[in-house]
């Protein structure tokens, strides 16, 4: 599912990102004609794309929900692990009332059998999803940027080795190995409790399998950028390799890195949900969207609401990230489309 | 050409060796690190010390890792004998050993599950190639118009929906509420071809929808790129009918890149469609993978991993050969 433009992303969208401190050209131009930095142009383009802005707004909202999950849930007053046996039909084990027990008190109904509040669990599930997806994307980006830079800039055997590894990982049955790794790694370590250590493992595993996507794009960009005059100029001025890599090349890669980081987040959300669905992600008493869907599998005939809610949450979240990422790509590089 | 194929087959063997080594290493070291004992898995928790020792000797679990790996390879190629004094079991090649958990021989167990995954993957593949590529071509030809927008919106929704959700929802609708389809399951083709098809129809459609979404997007992008090439303009300029321009010149080079993607997708699906099989309770290779990993059942894990890797590398090889056949610019050497 590698989509899109890869190679052509950056050329002109670059130099302004390179020196954000200079604030573009406006300082020197007159008042009548106002110069716009490339960043401003991209921002204007993005703002005009209503679908992408809506996606972006929803992403922002989700991030807030994820950060403030604990206060939100305590404000609502239904802890994620509070059983409500009075809301469950004792013979069938299903929620009383229609649509999975949706009521003014329990906005998204209650879980079959246990009667735990679905809304609270969805909020905490969002926290898990968003944190895992973002941090895994961060891991992928850091690894991908460093290794991609190294491969593209140094060439030779470094490039050969890194490229080989990337090809290997991209052609690998990732889900299979994620399952294997996640299930063999210990349940708790570094004094983290079950949920946090599970999240750490997921972040590590998902992040690790994601870096080749970023790495390949960074490498491709560096291969063409390193032949450009400004690199030659800075080298003839006596810049050391470190400076060329991180002060000259890296800022020019900001646009593609930003776009592709945004676009691997939805993939990460699906992967986290899939692993939790398969029972090797976030473990049982802790809420996750994938885990809820697995539970819902046994009730898809008798209590469909319980299945639809986490599914729709995953769908809307992933869709919002995809729309936001596509819009970002179009804004930063209109040629790509 | 012949030399190329021989070299590639050699590469296939090397890749498979590396895969077994990695898997073997990971899953043999892990019990040591976490302090669980494969012999204990094998005989059950109530076994006495003598029985445990017997199993260890018989399976060679006390040997150093390279000896165990060597014996595993030997079993694969020529078969091996499990020897414990008077009690000897012969396991014919290809021998993956015996499940730690159920004592079943691994190879027949996997062969037993292969038809399920094979039926699932091939049926879905036919649907998604027709649906996805067709939708993508229509979308490209009607760029910017209603048809294009409908296809692209559906495709975006498709890539944003996890299969276990679409699967459950469609099972609830079509099998339960409307009652149009029997609940998903596997009936052997030889037993009843009609039931084989109707039982698998829902899994096929759900799996195909997911892939078709990706393929529609890819096809559209490739076709648009191809249709803007100079030779297409030339073909139009020399007065070819639009049907020939698109059908003869456009499709061929527009769809060639999809071969690679298709090969990889099909290859990895044949190794087990873990999510689909779990969603629909199909007992194929994917389900075997998941169960074996959960139970730390090394012989089966090794078997399914090797199966999966085998399908992927073979798919890669076939893709490269096909590519050369379809695209005259590609020379194999």
Kindly report, residue by residue over B40-64, the tens digit of the pLDDT. 666 665 667 777 777 777 777 777 7
B279 touching chain A per CB within 8 A: yes
Q: Which 8-state DSSP code applies to residue A88?
A: B
Q: Which residue is closest to B281 within chain A, CA to CA?
A: A297
Tell me which chain A residue has its CA closest to the CA of residue B286: A176
Task: Name the average pLDDT for chain B.
Answer: 83
For domain B106-331, is the CATH number 1.10.3720.10? yes
- B221: chain A residues, CB-CB within 8 Å: 3-4
Q: Structural domain boundaries of chain A?
A: 52-82+117-332
Q: How confident is the model at residue A19 (pLDDT cuts 50, 70, 90)?
A: very low
Do A3 and B27 lie within an 8 Å CB cutoff?
no
Across the interface, of A183, A270, A315, the residue whose CB is closest to B293 is A183
pLDDT tens-place string over residues B200-246:
889 999 999 999 999 999 999 889 888 888 988 998 899 888 888 88
Supply A24's token pair: 């573009």
Predicted local distance difference test score (pLDDT) of residue A138: 96
| Burial class for A326, CB neighbours closer than 10 Å (0-12, 13-18, 19+) | buried
CATH code 1.10.3720.10 region(s) in chain B = 106-331
DSSP string, A196-224: HHHHHHHHHHHHHHHHHHHHHHHHHHHHH
Mean pLDDT, residues B65-72: 82
Q: Which residues of A touch B274 (CB under 8 A)?
A: 175-176, 179, 278
Q: Worst-scoring range by mean pLDDT, A276-290, B57-71, B180-194, B314-328? A: B57-71
- pLDDT mean across residues, chain A: 80
pLDDT tens for each residue of B149-205: 999 989 988 889 998 899 889 888 888 888 888 878 788 887 888 888 888 889 999
Whether A9 has a pLDDT exceeding 50, the answer reads: no
Q: pLDDT tier at B2 (50, 70, 90 boundaries)?
A: confident
Contacts of B271 in chain A (CB under 8 A): 173, 176
Task: Looking at the complex, report in whole angstroms how far the Cα of residue B35 sits from the nearest Cα belonging to chain A.
Answer: 11
Q: Report pLDDT digits (tens) over B132-146.
A: 999 999 999 998 888
- Residue range B85-110, pLDDT digits in tens: 566 677 777 777 788 777 788 888 88
B165 touches chain A (CB under 8 A): yes
Collect all residues of chain A within an 8 Å Cβ-Cβ radius of residue B162: 270, 273-274, 277, 290, 293, 311, 314-315
Q: Is the pLDDT of residue A81 over 80?
A: no
Rounded CA-CA distance A260/B288 in Å is 34
CATH number for the domain formed by residue range(s) A52-82+117-332: 1.10.3720.10
| SS3 label, residue B90 | strand
Residue A115 confidence (pLDDT) above 80: no
B84 bridge partner residues: B87
Percent of chain B with pLDDT over 90: 14
B272, pLDDT greater than 80: no
Chain centroid, CA B10 distance in Å:
22
Query: Model pTM?
Result: 0.82
Q: Residue A5: closest CA among chain B residues belongs to which residue?
A: B221
Q: Which residue, among B168, B174, B216, B308, would best test binding to A if mutated, counting the most A CBs under 10 Å from its CB?
A: B168
Residue of A4, A266, A278 with shortest CB distance to B278: A278
Q: Which residues of B touch A308 (CB under 8 A)?
A: 169
Chain B residue numbers with beta carbons less than 8 Å from the beta carbon of A175 are 274-275
* Segment B107-116 mean pLDDT: 89
CB-count burial class (<10 Å; 0-12, 13-18, 19+) for A71: exposed
């Amino acid at each position: 599912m590698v989509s899109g433009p890869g190679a052509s992303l950056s050329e002109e969208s670059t130099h302004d990102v390179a020196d954000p401190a200079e604030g573009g050209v406006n300082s020197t131009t007159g008042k009548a004609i106002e110069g716009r930095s490339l960043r401003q142009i991209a921002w204007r383009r993005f703002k005009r794309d209503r679908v992408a802005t809506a996606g972006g707004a929803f992403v922002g909202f989700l991030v807030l929900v994820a950060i403030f999950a604990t206060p939100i849930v305590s404000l609502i007053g239904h802890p994620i692990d509070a059983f409500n046996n009075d809301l469950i039909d004792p013979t069938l084990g299903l929620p009383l009332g229609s649509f999975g027990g949706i009521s003014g008190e329990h906005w998204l109904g209650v879980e079959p059998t246990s009667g735990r509040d679905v809304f609270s669990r969805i909020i905490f599930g969002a926290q898990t999803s968003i944190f895992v997806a973002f941090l895994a994307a961060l891991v992928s980006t850091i690894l991908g940027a460093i290794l991609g830079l190294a491969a593209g800039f140094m060439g030779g055997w470094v490039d050969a080795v890194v490229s080989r590894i990337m090809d290997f990982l991209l052609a690998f049955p990732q889900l299979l190995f994620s399952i294997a790794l996640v299930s063999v790694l210990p349940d708790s370590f570094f004094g983290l409790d079950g949920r946090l250590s599970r999240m750490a493992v997921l972040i590590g595993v998902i992040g690790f399998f994601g870096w080749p996507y970023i790495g390949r794009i960074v490498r491709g960009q560096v291969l063409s950028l390193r032949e450009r005059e400004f690199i030659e100029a800075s080298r003839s001025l006596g810049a050391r390799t470190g400076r060329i890599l991180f002060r000259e090349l890296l800022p020019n890669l900001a646009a593609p890195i930003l776009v592709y980081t945004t676009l691997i987040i939805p993939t990460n959300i699906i992967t986290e949900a899939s692993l939790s669905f398969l029972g090797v992600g976030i473990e049982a008493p802790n809420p996750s969207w994938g885990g809820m869907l697995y539970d819902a599998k046994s009730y898809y005939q008798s209590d469909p609401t319980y299945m639809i809610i986490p599914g729709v949450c995953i769908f809307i979240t992933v869709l919002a990230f995809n729309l936001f990422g596509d819009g970002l790509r179009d804004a930063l590089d209109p040629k790509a489309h | 050409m012949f030399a190329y194929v021989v070299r590639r087959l050699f590469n296939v063997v090397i890749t498979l060796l590396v895969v077994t080594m990695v898997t073997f290493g990971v899953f043999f070291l892990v019990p040591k690190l976490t302090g669980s004992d494969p012999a204990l898995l094998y005989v059950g928790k109530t076994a006495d010390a003598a029985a445990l020792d017997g199993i260890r000797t018989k399976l060679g679990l006390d040997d150093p890792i390279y000896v165990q790996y060597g014996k595993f390879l030997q079993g694969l190629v020529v078969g091996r004998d499990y020897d414990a004094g008077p009690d000897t079991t012969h396991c014919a090649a290809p021998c993956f050993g015996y499940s730690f958990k159920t004592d079943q021989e691994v190879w027949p167990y996997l062969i037993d599950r292969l038809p399920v995954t094979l039926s699932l993957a091939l049926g879905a593949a036919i649907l998604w190639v027709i649906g996805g590529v067709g939708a993508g071509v229509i979308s490209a030809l009607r760029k910017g118009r209603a048809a294009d927008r409908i296809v692209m919106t559906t495709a975006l929704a498709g890539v944003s929906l996890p299969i276990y959700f679409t699967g459950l929802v469609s099972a609830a609708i079509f099998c339960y509420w409307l009652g149009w389809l029997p609940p998903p399951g596997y009936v052997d083709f030889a037993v009843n071809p009609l039931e084989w098809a109707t039982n698998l129809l829902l899994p096929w459609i759900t799996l195909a929808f997911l892939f078709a979404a990706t393929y529609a997007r890819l096809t559209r992008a490739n076709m648009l790129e191809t249709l803007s090439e100079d030779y297409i303009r030339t073909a139009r300029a020399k007065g070819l009918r639009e049907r020939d321009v698109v059908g003869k010149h456009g499709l061929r080079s527009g769809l060639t890149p999809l071969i690679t993607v298709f090969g990889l997708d099909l290859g990895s699906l044949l190794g087990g469609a873990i999510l689909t099989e779990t969603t629909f309770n199909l007992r194929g290779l994917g389900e075997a993978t998941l169960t074996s990993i959960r139970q730390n059942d090394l012989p089966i894990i090794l078997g399914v991993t090797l199966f999966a890797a085998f399908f992927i590398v073979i798919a890669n090889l076939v893709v490269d050969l096909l590519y050369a056949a379809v695209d005259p610019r590609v020379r194999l050497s």
